[in-house]
Amino acid sequence: MNPYSDDYHREGIVALNAEFRFRICWDGTRSLLLQRGIDPMRCLLLSCDQGDDTNGLLMLPDGSMVDFDVRENRTTRTYEKFSNWKPVEYSGREYEIAREIVTSSTNDEFDAEVLAHFNAEWRDRDAPLPPVDRI
């Protein structure tokens, strides 16, 4: 598949958000978003990088974007707090596609794709992460 095609970008968004919306390891981040009054099921995670904190680029339901870092509890391995939350603006086809998805009046087709991807790739093997001292 052409890495510059709309289908390629959409497939990447579907795969990343299957994890973000449904995997156990993202429960803490979803809870943190709800505490801010943001529905995590209406957001799109566009990138994720692991480090001391996990960094991500998130498109919010209104189509705006934030660069965030979320801190993990090293014993429970759940995300406990945002250590960075900064509004950002990027342009490019991937962001246009994501914005079309989050600002659409109906996302049923996209939501079904995301759930199907989670069921196919993660449902049978998703589990909490082990404590850091057991890795």
The count of domains in the chain is: 1
Q: Which domain holds residue 113?
A: 6-123
Please report how many Cα atoms fall inside a 13 Å half-sphere around the Cα of residue 131, on the Cβ side.
Answer: 4
**Type of residue at 60:** L
Residue 100 inside a domain? The answer is yes
Its pTM stands at 0.90
Residue 26 is encoded by which pair of tokens? 């993202």
**Local confidence pLDDT in tens for the 135 residues of the chain:** 777 789 999 999 999 999 999 999 999 999 999 999 999 999 999 999 987 899 999 999 999 999 999 998 878 888 999 999 999 999 999 999 999 999 998 889 999 999 999 999 999 998 877 777 655
Burial class (CB in 10 A: 0-12, 13-18, 19+), 87: exposed
E-assigned strand segments in 4-127 = 44-49, 54-59, 65-72, 79-88
Residue 134 inside a domain? The answer is no
**Inter-residue contact 26 to 77 (CB < 8 Å):** no
Count of H helices and E strands in the chain?
A: 4, 4
Nearest-5° Cα angle at 46, 108 to 73: 105
Residue 3: the pLDDT is 75
Nearest to 59 by CA among 49, 44, 38: 44
